[in-house]
Structure 1
Amino acid sequence: MTAWRIRDQHADDIGGFLRLWEQLTEAQAEPVYNLAEVLASCAQDHAVVAVAGEQIVGAAVGRTAHAQGWVVFLATAPGWRGRGIGSSLLAALEARMAPLGISVLSALMPAAETRIGAFRHQGYELKNNLHYFERRIPVQKEELRLLAELGGRVLPRGLWEGVGGMEAEKELLERRLVMPLAKPELAERFGVAPPRAVVLFGPPGTGKTTFAKAIASRLEWSFVEVFPSRLASHPLGLAGALRETFAAVSELERAVVFIDEVEEIASHRQGDPPSPTQGVTNELLKLIPTFREQPDRLLICATNFIRALDSAFLRHGRFDYVIPIGLPDAAARAAIWERYIPTVAAASVDLGRLVDASDGFSPADIEYAARRASQTALEHAVYSRESDLEGPTTAEYTAAIAATRTTVSQKVTQEFREDIAALGRV
């Protein structure tokens, strides 16, 4: 019988590790830790191998986290099992990790794994009634530097759920954008091509930027907002800056790119000689088809003045959808008001009166009126010294509504309805 021995892992043992990994995955369910994690621990943490002559016939890899140690990989080559190699590898791994101050050494195994004798022989206890939870971090470390250079960020989770009111718009965006992008395999099965670029249009203050951020949060993709005004000072000019920005975005794994007030760089091309923005519009029109060829990307352009956009910009093939985001209806206004009315005042405020009085308000208008009423109520409580005051009253809210100048005029509202009929594509 060929003798085997245990030693520390060397850098040139990588080939032997890969063979063991292939043999292990062919014989059972995928290990809990993936190959990249195991190889990273080989290089940075603790690893021992069993060798017979020059051949690697077994390996064990462990890592430590404070007082906790983890066995992230244990394998014995076929034909060498049943000789105590697994138990010896675990013993050697423990000998190297114990001096680091760990108080417990644990291992996670696939449910299909039946070869657990080495662990039992070394005194490991099988813990029943345990659940293993795992969450993949959506944006990896190597992407964060590039994301910072682009001025992008990873938005907090929960923004989508936090969008109050505007349920009709939210449901439309969920069905058209979020669902196909979040479930690409299912979309492909039904012949649905996930969207690559959309336009959100509507009056100012209706929540287009909020929706763009909420979509990125819902998908857990990086969010990169492009500010034309900031790119204008680039040495290569605005067109060159756009080209560089889109090239950098292509290196991210998943990303939502948002351009607000896109009419600034995609307005009607006219005039002889050409206007200074015509070259920028041409560049953006060339960038969009290339952007669309990349998976896991979504370009969201928002505009308050869709009529100002160049006709070629909205052509089929560039944007999958042209979605209107309008003023909130009564149900949406009620949901928005509820978000800003303090809990202590909610029972006494006549919500119906506020909803009726704020007809024609944008979400931003409602927020302004609500905060104005709260400020008035605070000042009244402080300076009147009335101890029984419990937050803003209906009268204070209606006074704040009356003092609020609406963002959207009747003329703009009418033009928006016309734009939905003429240009909307949902």
Structure 2
Amino acid sequence: MPTWRLRDFHDDDLDRAIRMWEQDRQADDSYPVFPISEVMAAARAGGSAVVAVVGDDVVGMAVSRNEGERAWITLVALSDTWRNRGIGSALITELERRMRSQGVRRIGALLAPGATGTKALENSGYRSRSGLLYYEKAEHIAPSDAGLLAELGGRLLPPGLWSDLAGMEREKGTIERRIVLPLAEPALADRYGVIPPKAVILFGPPGTGKTSFAKAVASRLGWPFVELFPSRIAAAGSGSLATSLRENFADLAELESVLLFIDEVEEIAGTRSGLAVDPSHGVTNELLKLIPGFRDHDERLLICATNSVRSLDPAFLRPGRFDYVIPVGPPDSSARSAIWQRYLGPAADTVDLHQLVEASEMFTPADIEFAARKGAQAVFEREVAHRQGTRATTQDYLTAITDTRPTLTDQVLTEFNEDIQTYVRM
């Protein structure tokens, strides 16, 4: 019977190690916590890797990832014909020796139940800990996409933006039902014949939160958020606005998933004059041609926002390009109350919230945020001047409201309500 021996892992062992790992995984019918690519990367980045060989054949392998005084055993794999020979325990013992020499004092292991290595770990003095849960989250951006996303000015937004949206419950509920849920649960949507949206329009007065809703949807889905600014596309491109737009969409197609947001979309999709010399024809036509191609990919969502939906070209609004046209209106009294509470902070305990809500009837969420900041600044400056433990008063914020010009007017609200009757599709 040939004998086995231990030695360092060499790059030439990689192919044989992968084959053994695959056979080992299929034999155990278990899902590995660490994929082989991550295991190899850890070994080359300062971890420890040991193989057991018989002649030139690799029959066992163990790898750890070392992080200061803490280390994780990320792989224990054995050839089928060389199990129950003490190789697994020997590999772990050798790993421990190497880890101790690097200052490791605490060693953990994450293995699926019944996977290769569980018996070897128990024989080496490791004890499983019950009552623990393993959590995992897969990011929606591949490492190869990170550079491209940065070039496009995009980013992964922090989690929790959806839950942070204060007030606007009517709009929030509509957007969640129509947009978020079908995209977040595509298998369930498919079971009931629901087609997830690929492109939507949000319209409403300035400052009502259209951009915040778009970012919150990206945060909720965990997709990269990319905003295209019509005013910047021409400057960034080498030719016309239409060419720059086409180049940006071509780059976006390389991402695995993306929420593309275009604010003030009327700048590149306004009503065409009908004159052949009209320079807006080219860019509007180009955008109309690009949207169907964008819709062909999974995990893609285009959100366009506009303050003036009536100024968009009729061809742009035609069904088949946009799944929904959703109004985002001014906040009602309940929404204003929630928004004030969000921005008041500690002052919420010392002011009359009802008075602020009533006084800010024609305010958008952006107006309320500005007035809240202005009121807080006044209290801060008074405290700096007098150092008497100043507390915020209702009057501080009522003064700030008076000094803030509201975005909403009777004319704006009349036009918005007319647009709801004419353009809404949801």
Global fold match (TM > 0.5): yes
Over 3 Å counting, the alpha-carbon distance change for 1:119 and 1:397 in structure 2 is closer
Equivalent-residue separation in structure 2 for 1:179 and 1:11 (angstroms):
46
Aligned pairs (5 A) from 1:198-213: 198-213=200-215
Which residue is 2:167 aligned to? Answer: 165
Shift in Å, 1:257: 0.9
| Distance in 1 of aligned mates of 2:164 and 2:117 | 47
Does the Cα contact within 8 Å between 1:231 and 1:237 map onto a contact in 2? no
1:214 and 2:216 matched: yes
- AA partner of residue 33 (structure 2): V
CA distance in 1, matches of 2:117, 2:102: 28
Q: What one-letter code is carried by the residue in structure 2 that aligns with 1:278?
A: H
CA contact (8 A) 1:381 1:389 kept: yes
Kept after mapping to 1: 8 A contact 2:88/2:117: no
Residues 398-420 of structure 1: per-residue CA shift (max 9 Å, x gap): 33333432212211211111111
* 2:67 corresponding residue in structure 1: 65
Q: Deviations over 1:243-267 (max 9, x none)?
A: 1111111222221111100000001
84-93 or 121-130: bigger deviation: 121-130
SS at match of 2:315: coil
**How far apart in 1 are the matches of 2:117 and 2:65?**
21
Residue 43 of structure 1 deviates from its aligned partner by 4.3
- Deviations 1:352-386 (Å, cap 9, x if unpaired)? 22222222221122222333333344445555x48
Which whole-Å CA distance do the structure 1 matches of 2:358 and 2:401 have between them? 11
Distance 1:53 1:425, change over 3 A: same
The answer to whether the 8 Å contact 2:48/2:64 transfers is yes
CA separation of 1:100 and 1:261: change in aligned 2, threshold 3 A:
same
With over 3 angstroms needed to count, the CA separation of the structure-2 counterparts of 1:288 and 1:83, relative to structure 1, is same
| 1:58 match: secondary structure | strand
User: Is it true that 1:339 corresponds to 2:330 in the alignment?
Assistant: no
Task: Name the structure 1 match of 2:281.
Answer: 278
Is 1:373–2:391 an aligned residue pair? no
Please give the alpha-carbon distance, in whole angstroms, between the structure 1 residues aligned to 2:91 and 2:73.
11
1:170-191 CA-to-partner distances (Å, cap 9, x unmatched) read 1111111111222222222222
5 Å-filtered alignment, 1:237-276, equals 237-276=240-279
Provide the secondary structure at the position in 2 that maps to 1:300.
strand
1:31 corresponding residue in structure 2 = 32
1:320 matched residue in structure 2: 323
The whole-number CA distance in structure 1 between the counterparts of 2:387 and 2:12 is 79
Contact 1:374 1:392 in 2 (8 A): no
Matched-pair contact (CA < 8 Å) for 1:71–1:106: yes
Partner residue of 2:303?
300
Conserved in 1, the CA contact under 8 Å of 2:200 and 2:302? yes
Task: Give a deviation string over 1:69-110, Cα, whole Å, max 9, x none.
Answer: 221111212222111111222233334333222123321111
Letter in 1 for 2:318: R
CA distance in 2, matches of 1:242, 1:99: 57
C-alpha deviation, 1:25, in angstroms: 2.3
* RMSD across aligned positions (CA): 2.2
Counterpart in 2 of 1:309? 312
Secondary structure of 1:265's partner?
helix
2:238 aligned counterpart, secondary structure: coil
Once the 2 structures are TM-superposed, how far is the Cα of residue 167 of structure 1 from its aligned partner? 0.9
Separation in structure 2 between the aligned mates of residue 102 and residue 159 of structure 1, nearest angstrom: 39
Separation of aligned partners in 1, 2:127 and 2:52: 24
1:396-415 matches, within 5 Å, as: 396-415=396-415
Conservation of the 8 A alpha-carbon contact between 1:31 and 1:109 = yes
- Structure 1 gap ranges (5+): none
Q: In structure 2, what is the equivalent of residue 387 of structure 1?
A: 388
Whole-Å Cα distance in 1 between the matches of residues 388 and 4 of structure 2?
A: 84
Q: Partner residue of 1:230?
A: 232
Bigger mean CA deviation after superposition, 71-80 or 40-49: 40-49
Structure 1 stretch displaced more, 115-124 or 178-187:
115-124
Provide, for residues 122-164 of structure 1, a one-character-per-residue CA deviation record: whole Å limited to 9, x for no partner: 3333344444333444434432221111111222222211111
Other structure's SS at 2:326 match: strand
Q: Quick one: which amino acid aligns to residue 399 of structure 2?
A: A
CA contact (8 A) 2:337 2:357 kept: yes
| Aligned equivalent of 2:79, options 56, 77, 80 | 77
Kindly tell me the number of residue pairs found equivalent between the two proteins: 423
The residue identity in structure 2 corresponding to 1:4 is W
For residue 229 of structure 1, what is the amino acid of its counterpart? S
Deviates more, 1:130-139 or 1:305-314: 130-139
Is the partner of 1:193 in helix, strand or coil?
coil
Name whichever of 52-61 and 357-366 sits farther off.
52-61
Q: Which amino acid aligns with 1:411?
A: Q
Q: Greater shift after overlay, 54-63 or 244-253?
A: 54-63
Q: Is the 8 A contact 1:70 1:105 kept in 2?
A: yes
Moved more, 358-367 or 112-121: 112-121
How far 1:198 moved relative to its partner? 0.8
> In structure 1, what residue type is equivalent to 2:391?
E
For residue 220 of structure 1, report the CA deviation from its aligned partner. Answer: 1.8
- Note the C-alpha offset of 1:14: 2.7
Partner residue, 2:421:
421
Q: Judge conservation of contact 1:62–1:72 (CA < 8 Å) in 2.
A: yes
Unaligned stretches of 5+ residues in structure 2: none
Q: Secondary structure at the match of 1:313?
A: helix
Which stretch of the first structure deviates more once superposed, 41-50 or 320-329? 41-50
1:37 is matched by which residue type in structure 2? E
Distance 1:55 1:202, change over 3 A: same
Q: Is the 8 A contact 1:373 1:392 kept in 2?
A: no
Secondary structure in 2 aligned to 1:268? coil
Could you tell me which residue of structure 2 aligns to residue 106 of structure 1? Answer: 108
Provide the residue aligned with 1:148 in structure 2: 150
Q: Percent identity?
A: 51
Whether 1:120 aligns to 2:122 is yes
Question: Are residues 398 and 81 of structure 1, via their aligned partners in 2, closer, same or farther at CA, if it must alter by over 3 Å?
Answer: same
Assess if the C-alpha contact under 8 Å between 2:204 and 2:308 holds in 1.
Answer: yes
1:331 deviates by 0.5
Shifted more, 119-128 versus 156-165: the winner is 119-128
The one-letter amino acid of 2:215's match is K
